[in-house]
């Protein structure tokens, strides 16, 4: 695995010679900073400039092409990779670019030549790409031998069998493909999205639509993602689903190979920046592979490059079944950028074009709620709930979210009804228990029930600062100040810069006679930029004390544990 870009950038500076004497020192420093912050667009620009000053520097070359791959401009990385090959400079990312280009152009002789010359990306990529090159060359016997080699390679059996089955399906040997895909996982292919859809297509092409439906249902359950619904409908109608399998050409199969490696490594120790290389290479090899664009965009979003993520999501063709998923992702990337209105517009357009998809309306409700347009959020949630089935796993969440919007609009009866309905759908759900319990505490209602709810939530999530704060706060409201202190101190440990939690700790200290510490916590809370109403209340407490503020507000505190004078 190559070094992360941030570390490689440091190496680039170290290896590039006496940069202090270089008149273009700014490009080096800018490239280094861009790499450290994973700003790949800027890194690509500044490494390009630095490379013009020192065109043969191997570290600069590696980092320049890595940045270009990251932003999805693999074609800009190609000249650098070719120069490295010509001058005997070896690098994993350069090899990846060369292999991706040869595959994209379906130059199978070139792929084989590169492999035989010793070019290496990784065992899985190398072996399966070469096997597909033989398929592309029409040498199926050699290809099958190469696939069998991968089957015998430790850790690659499932991948080898899947690609062998896909190759057999491409050349029309559907029975042999079905035989491989029908084997139990320990003897054949470990189930994955690709294996399930490839098997579905093979069975449909064999005219076996009922088994195809069974495989589809077993693989994706009763509530599949929106892009899978069209496939389900086609199979139900006795139609072979177009494009459902892993790939229908060797080029598309290699693109899927690159993508599947990134998917297989996701969630492990591999950094998102490393996985991004393979996702972008897959999209370069086959621009029609929408899932590659979606994965690259999600990785960019995870890294914090929300603008690049939004642009990458936008590469998915509106006619592609994955377009809905991509647009939902684009809206989230725009929201993360702070471009809430743009995100709302994306989701509003999506809702008009996909008015029967509950997830779209639920997502629109979420972003309206975040923008504090609670009426619009409520409308969207109503629509989503009218579309979700009674047993849909997302129903509890949307019901809970609608309860929040009712509560924010001071519609407590409706809010409480939604919270309790959400708990019936998802008993013991900590977030719902906490929100309902805390709301009742704030209203001074059902404090014993609220305490029981929040204690249950805290037992489920003992490291949630918000829930531990709620537990301390209900004890405060019940006048159990000594107990409240312990929980409030723990809540501040978990949420050290939350103004509300810190303010609550100050109140609790005050009620046990620790006035100096209370004022210290209130001042800390002010430093965390609370909303104006809370800030004014804290300032008033600092002036006259908590009990006077409560008296001014018409509240009657429980018997104070200690005299604060």
Between helix 58-70 and helix 92-104 the angle, nearest 10°, is: 50
Neighbours of 429 (CB within 10 A): 20
**Cα separation, 155 vs 389, whole angstroms:** 41
Per-residue pLDDT tens for 151-176? 999 999 999 999 999 999 999 999 99
Q: What is the pLDDT of residue 30?
A: 52
The whole-number average pLDDT for the span 10-28 is 43
Per-residue pLDDT tens for 117-129? 999 999 999 999 9
Per-residue pLDDT tens for 510-561? 999 999 999 999 999 999 999 999 999 999 999 999 999 999 988 876 544 4
| Tokens standing for residue 181 | 């895909």
Which of these, 498, 545, 565, lies nearest to 526 by C-alpha position? 498
Q: How many CA atoms lie within 13 A of 437 on its CB side?
A: 30
Backbone angles phi, psi at 117, to 5 degrees: -80, -5
**Cα separation, 251 vs 248, whole angstroms:** 9
Neighbours of 14 (CB within 10 A): 10
Higher-confidence residue of 468 and 246: namely 468
Q: Is 261 helix (H, G, I), strand (E, B) or coil?
A: helix
Q: Is 231 helix (H, G, I), strand (E, B) or coil?
A: helix
pLDDT classification of 67: cutoffs 50, 70, 90:
confident
| Tokens standing for residue 514 | 């620790």
Boundaries of every domain in the chain: 1-119
**Cα separation, 350 vs 334, whole angstroms:** 15
Please, are residues 150 and 158 in contact by the beta-carbon 8 Å criterion?
no
Backbone angles phi, psi at 25, to 5 degrees: -55, -35
Q: What is the pLDDT of residue 55?
A: 79
Neighbours of 247 (CB within 10 A): 23
Residue-wise burial string across 195-206, b where 16 or more C-beta atoms lie within 10 A, e elsewhere: bbbbbbbbbbbe
**Cα separation, 408 vs 416, whole angstroms:** 12
- Measured in whole angstroms, the distance separating CA 12 from the mean position of its chain's CA atoms is 30
Helix (H) or strand (E) holding 380: helix 374-387
The burial class, CB within 10 Å (0-12 / 13-18 / 19+), for 325 is buried
Please, are residues 347 and 360 in contact by the beta-carbon 8 Å criterion?
yes
**Cα separation, 368 vs 359, whole angstroms:** 14
Helix (H) or strand (E) holding 234: helix 226-236
**Cα separation, 104 vs 287, whole angstroms:** 9
Which of these, 414, 462, 412, lies nearest to 434 by C-alpha position? 462
Please, are residues 562 and 512 in contact by the beta-carbon 8 Å criterion?
yes
Between helix 74-86 and helix 272-285 the angle, nearest 10°, is: 100
Please, are residues 156 and 127 in contact by the beta-carbon 8 Å criterion?
yes
Residue-wise burial string across 134-157, b where 16 or more C-beta atoms lie within 10 A, e elsewhere: bbbeeeeebbbebbeebbeeeebb
Residues 246, 248, 251, 252: is their CA dihedral positive or negative? negative
pLDDT classification of 247: cutoffs 50, 70, 90:
confident
pLDDT classification of 13: cutoffs 50, 70, 90:
very low
DSSP string, 233-271: HHHHTT-PPTT-SS-SSHHHHHHHHHHHHHHHHTTSSS-
**Cα separation, 354 vs 384, whole angstroms:** 12
Q: Is 430 helix (H, G, I), strand (E, B) or coil?
A: helix
Q: What is the pLDDT of residue 51?
A: 75
- Angle at 168 (CA atoms; ends 164, 172), nearest 5 degrees: 170
- The mean of the pLDDT values for the chain is 89
The whole-number average pLDDT for the span 118-147 is 96
Q: What is the pLDDT of residue 542?
A: 97
Please, are residues 544 and 536 in contact by the beta-carbon 8 Å criterion?
no
Please, are residues 85 and 98 in contact by the beta-carbon 8 Å criterion?
yes
**Cα separation, 270 vs 291, whole angstroms:** 19
The burial class, CB within 10 Å (0-12 / 13-18 / 19+), for 537 is middle
C-alpha pair distances (Å), 261 with each of 53, 109, 316: 36, 24, 21
| Tokens standing for residue 280 | 């972008």
Q: What is the DSSP letter of 270?
A: S
Per-residue pLDDT at 207 exceeds 80: yes
- Measured in whole angstroms, the distance separating CA 54 from the mean position of its chain's CA atoms is 38
Maximum CA extent, the chain: 92
Please, are residues 281 and 100 in contact by the beta-carbon 8 Å criterion?
yes
Q: What is the pLDDT of residue 133?
A: 98
Per-residue pLDDT tens for 285-336? 999 999 999 999 999 999 999 999 999 999 999 999 899 999 999 999 999 9
Assigned CATH for 1-119? 1.25.40
**Cα separation, 523 vs 499, whole angstroms:** 10
């Amino acid at each position: 695995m190559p070094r992360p870009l941030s570390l490689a950038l440091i190496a680039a500076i170290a290896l590039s010679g006496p940069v202090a004497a270089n008149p273009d020192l700014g490009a080096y420093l800018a490239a280094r900073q861009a790499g450290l912050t994973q700003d790949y667009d800027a890194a690509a620009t500044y490494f390009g400039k630095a490379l013009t000053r020192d065109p043969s520097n191997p570290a600069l070359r590696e980092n320049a092409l890595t940045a270009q791959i990251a932003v999805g401009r693999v074609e800009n990385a190609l000249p650098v990779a070719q120069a490295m090959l010509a001058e005997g400079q070896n690098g994993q990312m350069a090899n990846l670019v060369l292999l991706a280009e040869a595959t994209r152009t379906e130059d199978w002789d070139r792929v084989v030549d590169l492999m035989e010359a010793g070019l290496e990306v990784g065992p899985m990529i190398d072996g399966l790409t070469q096997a597909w090159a033989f398929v592309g060359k029409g040498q199926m016997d050699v290809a099958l031998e190469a696939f069998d080699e991968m089957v015998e390679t430790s850790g690659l059996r499932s991948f080898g069998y899947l690609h062998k089955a896909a190759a057999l399906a491409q050349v029309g040997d559907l029975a042999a493909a079905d035989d491989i895909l029908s084997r139990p996982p320990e003897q054949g292919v470990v189930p994955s999205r690709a294996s399930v859809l490839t098997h579905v297509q093979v069975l449909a092409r064999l005219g076996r639509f009922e088994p195809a439906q069974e495989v589809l249902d077993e693989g994706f359950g009763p509530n599949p993602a929106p892009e899978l619904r069209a496939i389900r409908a086609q199979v139900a109608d006795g139609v072979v689903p177009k494009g459902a399998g892993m790939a229908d050409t060797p080029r598309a199969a290699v693109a899927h190979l690159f993508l599947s490696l990134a998917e297989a490594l996701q969630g492990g120790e591999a950094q998102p920046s490393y996985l991004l290389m393979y996702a972008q290479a897959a999209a370069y090899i086959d621009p029609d592979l929408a899932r590659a664009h979606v994965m690259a965009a999600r990785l960019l979003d995870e890294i914090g490059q929300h603008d690049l993520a939004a642009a990458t999501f936008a590469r998915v063709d509106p006619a592609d079944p994955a377009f809905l998923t991509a647009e939902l992702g684009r809206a989230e990337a725009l929201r993360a950028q702070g471009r809430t209105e743009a995100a709302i517009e994306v989701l509003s357009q999506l809702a008009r074009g996909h008015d029967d998809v509950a997830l779209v309306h639920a997502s629109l409700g979420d972003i309206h709620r975040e923008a504090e347009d609670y009426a619009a959020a409520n409308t969207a949630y109503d629509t989503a709930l009218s579309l979700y089935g009674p047993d849909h796993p997302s129903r509890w969440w949307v019901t809970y979210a609608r309860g929040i919007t009712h509560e924010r609009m001071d519609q407590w009866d409706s809010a409480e009804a939604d919270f309790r309905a959400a708990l019936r759908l998802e008993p013991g759900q900590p977030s719902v228990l906490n929100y309902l319990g805390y709301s009742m505490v704030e209203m001074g209602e059902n404090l014993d029930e609220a305490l029981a709810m929040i204690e249950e939530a805290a037992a489920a999530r003992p490291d949630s600062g918000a829930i531990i704060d709620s537990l301390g706060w209900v004890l405060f409201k019940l006048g159990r100040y000594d107990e409240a202190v312990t929980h409030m101190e723990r809540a501040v440990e978990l949420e050290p810069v939350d103004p509300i939690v810190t303010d609550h700790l100050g109140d609790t200290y005050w009620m046990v006679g620790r006035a100096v510490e209370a004022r210290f916590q209130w001042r800390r809370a002010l430093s965390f930029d609370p909303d104006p109403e809370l800030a004014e209340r804290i300032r008033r407490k600092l002036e006259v004390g908590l009990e006077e503020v409560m008296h001014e507000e018409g509240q009657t505190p429980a018997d104070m544990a200690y005299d604060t004078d």
